[in-house]
Amino acid sequence: MGAPIIRVAGAEIPRTPADEILEAEAEAAAFEEVVHAASASVDEDGSGAVLVGYGITGAHLSTRRRRPSKGEADARVQRVAEEKRRRPASVPAASAQPVIVKPPIRKLAKDLGVDLALVEPTGLAGETTRDDVIRQARQASVFHNIETPEWGDERIERIPVKGVRKAIATSMVSSAFTAPHVSLFVDVDATRTMEFVKRLKNSAQFAGVKVSPLLIMAKAVIWAVRRNPTVNSEWTDEEILVRHFVNLGIAAATPRGLIVPNVKEAQAMSLLELAQSLEQLTLTARDGKTQPAETQNGTITITNIGVFGMDTGTPILNKGEVGIVALGTIKLKPWVTDGEVRPRMVTTIGASFDHRVVDGDVASRFVADVASVMEEPALLLD
C-alpha cells in the first residue's frame, strides 16, 4: 500500500505557431526597448549630401508594441493561414509583421530601386537597416543583367590621363613618396554629437542651413589645431612653417575626380558661418564650379569617408599639408558605459601625419582632442 503504480516520464508539450508568435513578440519588445532608448534623439534626415551628411543605421521606433494575448496570437495564425490558402501559388506570401523602415532608409531604397518587400531585415527589432537595402541592391545588380552595364566590344578601354585626374595623380604620388606618413585611429562614442546635430537642425538660428556630423568634426579639428599647432604646418626642407590660421580643406568626390577645396580663415568663423561655408563649398563642388583658388593654400584637410559607408581608412596627405583627418560612418553599436553594455552611436576617426613634422605624441594628442569634441560637443563652448 502506498507503492507507486505507474511512473509518467516528463513529456515536452509541442510548440504551436501561436507560441512562436508570442515568443517572437516578447523578444522584439525587449530589443525594441534598447533601440528606442538609443535612437530617440538620433538624426533622421536622410537627404545625405556627398560632403556634409549621411544616413545612419538603426531604426527609431516611436511606439512600443503590446505583447498579444494567446487568443490574439491564435487569431493571427489563422489569418495568415487563410491568406496563404487564398493566394495563388505565383504570389509570394506576405510577412506576418509590418515592414519597419525609417524615412531615410526608405528614400535610399527608392533611389536604388530596391523593393522593400523583398528585403530581409536584420535590425534588432525587425527593422530594415541601411546595410540591408545596400545588400539587396548589390544582389539585384549581380543577378539581373538588365542592371549590369555592358562591357562593349573593346577588351581594353583607354582613358587619357589629363586635367583634374592628372593633377590628382601627380599630387598624390608626390605626397605619398615625399612625406613619411604615420596613421592613427580611435573609436568614438558620437551619440552626443548626433543629439547636438539634431538640436541645431531644430533651432531657428540654423533654419534652412545644412547641418551634419561633418560640421561638428570641422569645428573639432579647428579646436584641436589651436591646441596642437604643429599639425597645421608646412615642411619646406629649410624650415617648418607653423600657420596660425586654418584654411580647412574638405575632400570632395566630384564627376571630374577628387578635389580638395578649402574654407578660408575657418578659425575665425562661428558655428553658423562654418555651416554656411561648408554648404556652399558642397554645392559648388557638386556643380563642378570650384575655382582653382578655392583649392589652393589649404592648411589641414578632412575626408568624410563615412558617406560611402566606410568605417575608417589611411588617408594620403594633401600636398603642402602635414595632417589629414578621416571621419568614418556613424553606426549604432554596443558600447561599454559605466560598466554596462549599451547601444551607442559610434564612429572611427582616422588621421595621417607627416612624420618629419608631427611626432607621435603630438599626433596622439591631436586625435584625442578631436575625439573629445565628438564625444562631448559642449567642449566647443570653452
The question of whether 355 is a catalytic residue gets the answer: yes
Cell numbers for 284, please give them: 559648388
Q: Which of 36, 60, 181, 355 is catalytic?
A: 355
Half-sphere exposure of 193 (CA within 13 A, CB side): 28
What does the alpha-carbon distance between residue 86 and residue 94 come to, in Å, rounded to a whole number? Answer: 12
Please answer whether residues 340 and 253 qualify as being in contact, where contact means their C-beta atoms are separated by less than 8 angstroms: no
> Is the CB of residue 250 less than 8 Å from the CB of residue 302?
yes
Q: How far is CA 222 from the centre of its chain?
A: 22
Sign of CA dihedral 241, 244, 250, 256: negative
Listed as own residue / partner, the contacts of 210-213 with beta carbons closer than 8 Å and 24 or more positions apart are 210/49, 210/52, 210/53, 210/275, 210/278, 210/279, 210/282, 211/275, 212/49, 212/52, 212/53, 212/54, 213/53, 213/306, 213/327, 213/330, 213/347
Residues pairing with 263 in the sheet: 248
Query: What residues act catalytically?
Result: 355
